[in-house]
Amino acid sequence: MQIVLTQPRGFCAGVTRAIEIVERAIELHGTPVYVFHEIVHNPWVVDDLRLRGAVFVNDLAEVPTDAVLVFSAHGVSNAVVAQADRLGLLTIDATCPLVSKVHLQAQRFVRQGHTLLMIGHAGHEEVVGTMGRVDAPVHLVSVVADVAHLDVPAHTPLAYVTQTTLSLDDTREIIAALKARFPRIVGPEVDGICYATQNRQIAVRRLAAQVDLVLVVGARNSSNSNRLREVAERCGVPAHLVQDEHDLKAEWLLGAPRVGVTAGASTPEVLVQRVVDALQSHTAGERLPIVHLAGAREDVSFRLPPGLTAPNTAALAHG
């Protein structure tokens, strides 16, 4: 048996930044620091921050007046920002800058008079946040079949934006269907699917070509981790999403001499190592060889919000 690890895998720049924002907020303001939604979609990360004084809420009514509130990496709607303002909360925005870019693009399209379509998954926090960033109705397109059912009058100027963590293949097909039905539709100049999603999907495709089984370490509610599993499966290889080593099933390993392992953008490396260790323990004593597949080098990093880089917190948005 052999273990093959992809590169890149695990944390992206937006996730690293969001976690650091919560850590810095706790250092600067003390506990508790409230976080609207899971800061990133990974229960290990959330539990770790909870132990250090973060309180995760899904409803701002649970946040006391004058508390410190962090918006998660997925971004929030205008309504949530306004509600936090009304409650007098000290807000810190951990929205990934690449998600914020999609917000700005969506607002630009609406200002230009376009009716907006969002390509994304219903109910995902990022999608809810982006759709709620414009003061106009937004049509959601999740699968190719949705395109035929779009109820928009002929000659309506249309534009689309995408969720950052979609499947490259699915999105390409949806955009092709949109262009076939609405030839004048416009989209962003630069693809909205982020660099981390693209790199991890390209890497898992390469991995799938070389192994008998793919394990994606990631949370069940992590969009980009789910897409990695789908991409691997479409390559014709059995692929499973595992949150950690406890999700591994011995029967998956039967007849799979080469096991590929990757991880979603919100998965800490410690969980990958725990899965690798669990795979090692399946063999009788001998250490399995680990092959590291080369892949795209990532040197992206995002600055923290100004108020968090200095001890002076005056630059934080109050309200």
Q: Which residues are known catalytic residues?
A: 126
CA atoms lying within 13 Å on the CB side of residue 42? 30
Considering the complex, what minimum distance in angstroms separates the CB of residue 148 from ligand SF4?
29
Q: Measured from the CB atom, is 199 or 243 closer to ligand SF4? A: 199
Q: Measured from the CB atom, is 147 or 265 closer to ligand SF4? A: 265
- Using CB under 6 A as the binding rule, the residues of this chain from 189 to 228 that contact ligand SF4 are 194, 196-197, 224
Closest CA to 304 of 32, 97, 89: 97
- Using CB under 6 A as the binding rule, the residues of this chain from 96 to 125 that contact ligand SF4 are 96, 98-99
Per DSSP bridges, beta strands 90-93 and 317-318 are antiparallel
Name the segment binding ligand SF4 (CB under 6 A); options: 9-17, 25-33, 61-69, 311-319: 9-17
What is the radius of gyration, based on Cα positions, of the chain?
A: 21
Q: Pattern of binders to ligand SF4 over 46-85, x per CB under 6 A?
A: ---------------------------x------------
What is the C-alpha separation between 177 and 161, in angstroms, rounded?
A: 15
Q: Name the burial class of residue 234, with classes exposed (0-12), middle (13-18) and buried (19+) by CB atoms within 10 angstroms of its CB.
A: middle
Q: What is the 3-state secondary structure (H, E, C) of 113-179?
A: CCEEEEECCCCCHHHHHHHCCCCCCEEEECCHHHHHCCCCCCCCCEEEEECCCCCHHHHHHHHHHHH
Q: Measured from the CB atom, is 119 or 147 closer to ligand SF4? A: 119
For ligand SF4, which residue has the nearest CB?
Answer: 14
Q: Binding residue for ligand SF4 (CB under 6 A) from 128, 259, 265, 279?
A: 265
What are the CA-CA distances from residue 24 to residues 17, 20, 28, 90 (Å)? 10, 6, 6, 14
Residue 12 binds ligand SF4, judged by CB under 6 A? yes
Q: Measured from the CB atom, is 40 or 117 closer to ligand SF4? A: 40
Which chain residues interact with ligand SF4 by CB under 6 A? 12-15, 73, 96, 98-99, 164-165, 194, 196-197, 224, 265
